[in-house]
Structures are given as structure tokens and as C-alpha cells.
Structure 1
Amino acid sequence: MVEQSRRNVLRGGLVVTAAGLAVPITGAGPAAAAVYYDPRRRAFAVEAGSSLGEAYRRLYLGWGVTVPAGWCPTVGAGGHVLGGGFGPLSRMMGLAVDHLYAVEVVVVDGRGRARSVIATRERTDPNRDLWWAHTGGGGGSFGIVTRYWFRTPGARGDDPSRLLPAPPPTMLSFTITWDWRDFTQDAFARLVRNHGRWVERNSSPGSPAARLYSEIQLNRRPIGQLGMIGQVAAPPGTAQRLLDEHLAAINEGVPATPSRQVKTQPWLAAALAGSPGDPGPAYRLKVKSGYLRRRLTDRQIDVLHHHLTRSDYDHPGGTLSLYTFGGKVNTAAPDATAAPHRDTIMKLFFVNGWEDPKDDAKHITWLRELYRDLFADTGGVPAPGDGAFINYPDNDLADPAWNHGAPWHTLYFRDNYPRLQQIKAKYDPRNVFHHALSVRAER
């Protein structure tokens, strides 16, 4: 079945660049979505058109392995991996790019000619810097990715089942909710403070709690609930104990009783089910991001409570989610990949969703003001040592009207930006691939 699928797509195809150039790409078929084992490279190929869910399905059913990538199975691998690739297994296994062996990219040279380049992490590869740029440098800066190959560093032999990590046999998925009516400002602050303390204590590499991943959802009061979703990668008894301890620590001293829904499933079923409550296709969205190396301060918690409960804005859509981070992710050096945030404990996801375009300004302004006020001590944006996530692109970070702190490229790439600029100049000297937050070649 796998080999037949592979033959169906390996017929040659065309990739059209932003400059309008059509280029034949060996191994890229009409769908460009194949997932297969490549014995020549001893690595698993995932073409850029594959969804994460299809990659999980084929890797697991074929060889019992996976890549620690995102929770949403409909997300495309092509863009997800470029930002680093993070999901429920990353606290145990690292980022997706920590397992990236090679990448195939269509680039355009100084004469406007397009070509396909395969870049690997091998030290002897003359294109290794192009591989490195695709381990967290974001999309739309260097070329068009058509294929990835994955193999865990240090994996030996040619048995495919030993070349990537095996997921746990089962996964415990959970949804926790609290009634907003049960929360005073002090109770809200206690909940968020408890959560931050738990994350500070349980985000070191090798921590038993790294098997637990959670997203606490701090919603606008009009929606009626606060929530938390997550997964635990452990045998059922251990998984339930880790969840109980997590919830008890977060709820300590909080005068509100949460309700819970818990389901233990085979890992693949849980991976393909995805995260609950993802916004539907009808929503217009504005997102922002941040990383934290320590919990939110009491001042920030008060700011957050104000914006989630303010009476001059009645829309229920706004949310700040706090994602657990760290663990195995933090074992890599900041410059080992282009994804530099290797000393963090939390990822912040700010989102507002609405339906009518005429309301854009009102809803975007609410999110902008929350972000600005939360980070007022560092110029309206995260501290440069904390930073932001390139796969939640936010043009406001490049706008001096909203960013009075660190430059946008420092927030996304820290000290890795000069190296990314050099790679940009080498592989895209005509700046064919560009957008508001793309890497700028050094002048």
C-alpha cells in the first residue's frame, strides 16, 4: 500500500515560484502529499502538501513511529515544520525540527533561475545552512519547500522503526471547565498564579510531568467559562495521576469546582481527533504570541483580568491560552536550530475571532490593547529574552505604532537573525520570497 502510494506521486511535477517561474521537481507529484520511507537517506519523507494527520497515520501504521508536531491534524506539514513544529509530545521528544534530517527547497538565484536544492544536516553538506534556516526560520523567506525528511539524530541502522520515536500506546485527553461566575478577581489571580507556579516547577528536561501537556484557556467572561485542554502520554493509571496532580495544583485555594471530561484512546485515534474547540472556517481571526521563561507577574494577571472582564467590550471571542512548554525542547542549544527559544516554560497564544468584516477594527483593537498592556514594562511586546512564535505571525511586531520594545526579528529569532540574513542573501539574492515578517538580507 505504501509503495503503491509512493509510485502514484513520484512522476515529476511543477512548482510555480512567486516570480511566476515553473520548475520541474523530481519526486513531486500532483498532490505532493506523500509520506514514505526513503532507504537511500534512511529517513522518512513527508511532502509539503501532507497534513499532519496524514503524516501521523502513515508513519504510525507503517512503522510505529511519529514526529512530535502539532495537535491539529488538518494543519499542513509544509508551513508547520518551518516554524519549529510543536505539539503535545514535544515536552517529551523535542520540536519536530529536532528530528529534521533534510529539506527540499525551490530557490531562485541572482539571475532569476529557479532550481531545486536538497539540504541536509550533514556537516559535510555544502547546503547545510539552508537546512538550518528551515528549522525555525519561518516560511516565505528562502524558497518553496516541497519535501521534508525526518530521522532522529543519533539513530543508527536501517530499520525504519528505530529511526524516529515511537509514540505512547495510549493517550489520555482531557477537557476541564470552570464557571466564570464562580470567580472574583482574587480567585482568577489565584488560578493563573497557581498555573504559573506549576509550570515553573515542572518544565525541566526529564521531569516526569513532561508527559503532560496542557493549554489553559483564559476566555472573555461573556463566554461563560474558563477552560483547560490537554493530553497525557502515559499508561492509564499514571496518566490519570499526573492529571489529578496537575489540576489539584492549579485549583488549590480557588473557590470554584471544575468539571472534567477525560478519554483514554489509542495514540493514533487521539492524534487524529485533534484538539477540541478549534475555531471553524467562518471566523475572521487575529492572533498574537509570546514565550515566557517565568510565570506572569501579578501586574500582568491584573491586566489580563481587566481585559477579559471589561464592560465596554461585550464580544465573547477573545482568549489568552497558556501552553506548557520546555522539557525536552530545552535540551537543544539556542543556535542548534533556527528556533532559538530553548529556555522557555510557556507559550502564549492570543486570539480573537469574529464573523463580520465591518467589525475588524473593534475586535483587532481589543486584542492589540490587551497585548500592549500585558507587556507595558517592555515596550508593548514581550521581553527580547522571551520572544514570540513566528508561526503565529503578527505584523504589529514590525509596526512602531505598537512595538516600542525589541525589534520584531529579535523577538522571533533572537541572536540567530544575522545568520538567517546571510542565508537569505545566498539563496534568495533577488528577494523573490518576501512578506512583512520575512528575513531581510543584510545590506
Structure 2
Amino acid sequence: MAMAVSFLLLLSLLPPLLATAAAHGSGHFSDADDAAAALLTSCLATAGVRNVTSRRSPAYAAALAFSVQNLRFASSGAGAGPAAVVVPSSLAGLRAAVLCSRESRLAIRLRSGGHSYEGLSYTTSGDEEEGGGGAFVVVDLVALDAVHVDAASRTAWVQSGATLGQLYHAVAMATSSSPASLAFSAGSCPTVGSGGHVAGGGFGLLSRKHGLAADNVVDAVLVDAGGRVLDRSAMGEDVFWALRGGGGGAWGAVYAWRVQLSAVPDRVTVFVVNRPGTVEAVARLVSTWQHVAPWLPDEFYLSAFVGAGLPESDKTGIISVTFKGFFLGPAHEAIQILSTRFPEIGLSDLDPKEMSWIESVVFFSGLPAGSPVSELTDRVLHGKNYFKAKSDFVRRPMAIDDLTKAIDFLSKEPKAYVILDPYGGAMDRIEATDLPFPHRKGNIHGIQYLIDWTADEDSHRDSYMDWLRRFYDLMGAYVSNGPRTAYINYQDLDLGTNDWSGLMAKGDDENANPVETARIWGERYFLGNYDRLVRAKTAIDPENVFRNAQSIPPLFTGARGTTRRTPRGISPKVASEDDKAYDS
């Protein structure tokens, strides 16, 4: 599926304010960066890749801002910007981008959809820059957005620049005349890039039935730091394992995923019901939800959004819980299940709506009501804002008194809300070590804490984020512990960041141990899978070319930029040149 409009035309549609803000946030120009960008541009031109924009170009701000989804990183002081933005449009172009970036001594950030919660696909923090991670290039995958669906095998090749919306639309269109309706299990935001989403796991409305997006990946094509093109067989099972949930931007540049599609009914059921009330009333509803949602049939996804700024909260002046339901079956079955298992929700015969799966994607996408399914292919996220997020996993329901205390705290800040995603179902039947994403059996639900604000309120960003951290601290007694866990796709730099300083800037440093530094946050995302991820990183990217503030580090010796020998048994090989099924 080709892009509907050119990348340059899309840039021209950006709001001027966003482009200007990104220009301010890029900052930190240096002669060394300019020289690296010039070398990069020359190298890419030799390879036939001309879509590269350096910092000195008038188009730089727009190129950088195009996929900035969190405006917190599109303003002054948001961290250093890249020396250049490269937009490859083919496998050869992606390979050239990797090799020329290395030739220019630039670290590589990969950007698929730009939804990194901490802007890690297009910025670098000041601390990391001082530690030798500063000069970098953004390889933007926006032009690699083809989706090739094979309805007969129920698989699809998805280039990693394709958004979830583009993927869903392509699957629906290609299988519209098939005997069975097909779908893909992944998230609900259509502008999220498939590259980063799948790389972090990818939870969505179908996950209780069919697992994560990463659980449904059967092959991948990776360009490694040496420019080798590797498929599953060539990269080896350890690296292929790491790609599917070990976090984006750390292993190499994923050119495409081959994904397994799932059969869904011709008609599914959806509903959204708002239940405003007092703190105590909402706490009782959420308490019941905790005891019900994780144990509903696998076909049922029922999430809860809780906040004082949600719809209808103003009717009570306090707080509201919004339940969002998705059921792989007819409306009357959904009503029957909830009337028995969760009568307190008060679901009426008028609340549920039956529709096709692709129409349900639009329903939950955030697009205006009545939007055609073709709108799913729009890459531009409307209504962008500034936000900070954190995450948790819960293994047992909270006592009602504790829940009331937490919701009372939440009711004091209308800009904040939480999203409770039910686990159980298929998530309980997949082992914690099957993929890097370990949050499986025993986790009853996830929590996403969010606070957002507007441009006019951005001068108060520190107070908003401090409030969220205090709420997170309050919740510490009621969530997973030993360690307290988090979801890599909801990146949170409060958990810790990498420190390359002893290895990349200061030469030999016997005390520097980035693997142990990263363990502080790495085990919170990956639990016991962390060490296997380090071994896979050492095998595929021993020189740490693909890195960011929370990417898995390789095993360093402590000498400048050198690493231990690749562990025996997981050395990658070059993919066969004969297999071009994934290529566009």
C-alpha cells in the first residue's frame, strides 16, 4: 500500500506552531554535527538516497516535527535534536542509511510513528549527550509503509513504517471477500507505527483472545549495524526473540514484520458507557471491575478509564469511570454475560452496537463519530497535546478502602486519568519467557497513568508531572513489587536511563558497567528476561550503534567502544537473497 500523498506534502500540512517549536527544541548546533551531517549527505547521495535533511536546511524543523506525537518534546529544552533526518523509501535505502550513519559516526534513532512516550525516537537527553550518546541521526521509516496481505495463508508482510491504521485497513480491504473475516491483534491508536509498537509487545482489544502483536509475528527482516539483511533464519532465534517485545530501536532497523492474522466474526459488539458519581460510588464500580474483567470470556475486552476530567464528571462535580467494551460476538450475548457477571455496570439494550471488526477499529480510534474506514490510513494525529505517562501491573484486586483512597487522590486533578486494561484469557496461557514481554500469568490488569495539558498550560508542566509522580508513589503499595513492573511501550525515564559515559566518552573506566546500570530499569520492564536480552544485543549490535536512553546495552569490556566476544551459538547470518516476498 503506497502512501496517499508525498512526504514533502505531508510536511507542508504541519501546523506552523509545531514546526517552529521543533526548531527551537532542536538546538545544540555544533560544527562537528554539521560536518557529520555533510558526510552523511554525501555518503547517501553516492548510494542514491537523497531524502536527507540536515539541521541547516530550512525544511529541518518540519521534517523533525512531522511525527512528534508528544508536544512535550517539540519545545525548547526538550533535548538535543538529530544532526539530520533521513527518510529511506526502499530496503536498499534503509541499508544505506544504516551504513552511512556509521560511516559518519552518528548513532541511529529509528522512528516509525513517533509515539515514543519519552521522545526517544527523535531526541536525546542532556545526560546521555554528555555521556557520549549525543550526535545522532533520525532514520524516519514513514515512507516504508507497504502492507502485503496473503488471505490464503492468513499472513501479512508489514513494513515497519506502516501505522496500525494502515495495517488494519489493508487487512480489511484484502480480506473483504474472504470466507472468514481476518484481523490483527494490536493497539487501538491508528497513528502508532507498527515498527515500535510490535517491538515493545503491542497490547490491544484482541489480546485476551489472540495475545500481543509480538505474539503473532512469525518472521521479520532486519538490517543490522553492519548492513546485513537478516530474516528469522539468518538472525537466529535469540535475536528474533528479542525483536518481539524487547523494545524498539535497539537491535537494528526492522524493515518488515510477517504477522499472523486471526479470524474474527463478521459482526462484533462495542459499547462505551460513562458512570459518573462520588468517589465512593466510582470506587465500588472499579472494585467490581477488578474482580470481573480479567475473568470474562476470552472474547470479551472490558477496560475502565477513571478520571475527574472524563465525560459526565461535571454532572457530579467529582469523578467518572468510563467502561469501554469489545466483544467477539453478538450484542445479546454481551448483554447476557454482563447482566450476570457485572450487573452493576447497568448496560442497557441500547448501549451495545454491532458492526464489522474494521468498523470497531474506527469506533475506538478516537476519530470523529461516523468517520469512514479510509480515515484509518491518515498518519497525522489530530489534537496532539503535552503529556506524561507511567505504568504498572496489578496481580491482585485492591481493597475497597485503598481503592477509595486512590480515587479520591485522582479526583483532585482533572487533567489526570488512568486506563485499566484487563489481562487474563490468552495472556495467562503464554509463558513469561516466551517473549521478552513477561507480564503474563498472574497479572489481572495493567494501569496506565496519564496527565496532559495544553500549550497555554505548558509553563506548569513540572507541577503536572510532579503530581503524577506523587499519585504513582501512592499506588506503590497496591501493585506488583519485587520489582515494581512497567510496560516498555509506555516508556518512563523516571525508572532510570543508560549511562554510556565510561565507555564512549572517557575511555577505559573499570567502574563503568552499563549492563548493571540498565538493570535498574531493565528488570522492571523485562523481569528475568533482561539478561537474555543483553546477550541478544551483544550478538546483533556489539558496538551499540542502535541506542537510546532506555535501549538494552551490550556486554562491554570497559574499553572505549569495544565489547565482549559474541556469545557462542547466537551469531547471526546473512539472509538468503532469494527470498523477496517481504520486499515492495
- TM-score normalised according to structure 1 size: 0.78
Match for residue 296 of structure 1 among 370, 383, 398: 398
Residue 437 of structure 1 aligns with an amino acid whose one-letter code is: Q
Structure 1 unpaired stretches of 5+:
3-8, 152-163, 203-208, 252-256, 401-405
Partners of 2:185 and 2:211 within 8 A in 1:
yes
**Could you tell me how far apart the structure 1 residues matched to 2:497 and 2:322 are?**
32
**Could you tell me how far apart the structure 1 residues matched to 2:433 and 2:449 are?**
27
1:137 Cα shift? 0.4
**Could you tell me how far apart the structure 2 residues matched to 1:146 and 1:431 are?**
19
**Could you tell me how far apart the structure 1 residues matched to 2:240 and 2:343 are?**
43
Match for residue 391 of structure 1 among 485, 489, 503: 489
- Indicate the residue corresponding to 2:198 in structure 1: 81
CA 1:11–1:188: 2 relative to 1, 3 Å:
closer
1:285 Cα shift? 0.8
Say if 2:551 is the partner of 1:438.
yes
- Indicate the residue corresponding to 1:340 in structure 2: 438
Partners of 2:330 and 2:354 within 8 A in 1:
no
Q: RMSD over aligned Cα, in angstroms?
A: 3.3
Query: Percent same amino acid at aligned positions?
Result: 28
- Indicate the residue corresponding to 2:376 in structure 1: none
Say if 2:329 is the partner of 1:230.
no
Say if 2:287 is the partner of 1:193.
yes
Say if 2:136 is the partner of 1:36.
no
CA 1:318–1:413: 2 relative to 1, 3 Å:
same
Structure 2 unpaired stretches of 5+:
3-88, 105-139, 176-180, 315-319, 369-380, 499-518, 557-584
Pairing 1:20-31 to 2, within 5 Å after superposition: 20-21=101-102, 31=143
1:35 Cα shift? 1.2
How many residues get paired? 387
Partners of 2:294 and 2:424 within 8 A in 1:
no
Say if 2:448 is the partner of 1:349.
yes
1:172 Cα shift? 1.4
Partners of 1:11 and 1:29 within 8 A in 2:
no
CA 1:369–1:386: 2 relative to 1, 3 Å:
closer
- Indicate the residue corresponding to 1:286 in structure 2: 388
**Could you tell me how far apart the structure 2 residues matched to 1:19 and 1:373 are?**
48
Point out which structure has higher relative CO (alpha carbons under 8 A, 6+ apart). 1
Q: Encode CA deviations 1:372-396: one digit per residue, 9 max, x unaligned.
A: 1110478xxx414662110000011
Q: Which stretch shows the higher mean deviation, 364-373 or 9-18?
A: 9-18
**Could you tell me how far apart the structure 1 residues matched to 2:496 and 2:141 are?**
37
- Indicate the residue corresponding to 1:118 in structure 2: 231
1:106 Cα shift? 2.0
**Could you tell me how far apart the structure 2 residues matched to 1:174 and 1:330 are?**
25
1:258 Cα shift? 9.5
**Could you tell me how far apart the structure 2 residues matched to 1:115 and 1:227 are?**
48
1:31 Cα shift? 2.5
3-state secondary structure, aligned to 2:199: helix
Residue 332 of structure 1 aligns with an amino acid whose one-letter code is: I
CA 1:300–1:409: 2 relative to 1, 3 Å:
farther
Say if 2:229 is the partner of 1:95.
no
CA 1:37–1:280: 2 relative to 1, 3 Å:
closer
Residue 150 of structure 1 aligns with an amino acid whose one-letter code is: V
1:352 Cα shift? 0.5
Match for residue 317 of structure 1 among 397, 411, 415: 415
Specify the structure having the higher radius of gyration (Cα): 2
Q: Encode CA deviations 1:389-440: one digit per residue, 9 max, x unaligned.
A: 100000111179xxxxx93211110100000001111111111222222112
Partners of 1:319 and 1:350 within 8 A in 2:
yes
**Could you tell me how far apart the structure 1 residues matched to 2:220 and 2:351 are?**
40
> Which structure's residues are more often strand, by fraction?
1
Partners of 1:220 and 1:316 within 8 A in 2:
yes
CA 1:54–1:210: 2 relative to 1, 3 Å:
same
Q: Which stretch shows the higher mean deviation, 352-361 or 64-73?
A: 64-73
Match for residue 358 of structure 1 among 452, 459, 463: 459
Q: Encode CA deviations 1:27-49: one digit per residue, 9 max, x unaligned.
A: x998211111479x994211111
3-state secondary structure, aligned to 1:307: helix
Q: Encode CA deviations 1:232-252: one digit per residue, 9 max, x unaligned.
A: 11123213323444541557x
1:309 Cα shift? 2.7
- Indicate the residue corresponding to 1:403 in structure 2: none
Q: Which stretch shows the higher mean deviation, 289-298 or 353-362?
A: 289-298
3-state secondary structure, aligned to 2:468: helix
CA 1:77–1:199: 2 relative to 1, 3 Å:
same
CA 1:200–1:118: 2 relative to 1, 3 Å:
closer
CA 1:11–1:126: 2 relative to 1, 3 Å:
closer
**Could you tell me how far apart the structure 1 residues matched to 2:196 and 2:541 are?**
18
Partners of 2:99 and 2:227 within 8 A in 1:
no
**Could you tell me how far apart the structure 2 residues matched to 1:70 and 1:265 are?**
18
- Indicate the residue corresponding to 1:211 in structure 2: 299
Residue 348 of structure 1 aligns with an amino acid whose one-letter code is: I
1:147 Cα shift? 0.5
1:176 Cα shift? 0.9
1:61 Cα shift? 2.8
1:294 Cα shift? 1.7
Partners of 2:280 and 2:404 within 8 A in 1:
no
CA 1:377–1:73: 2 relative to 1, 3 Å:
closer
- Indicate the residue corresponding to 1:105 in structure 2: 222
- TM-score normalised according to structure 2 size: 0.60
- Indicate the residue corresponding to 2:532 in structure 1: 419
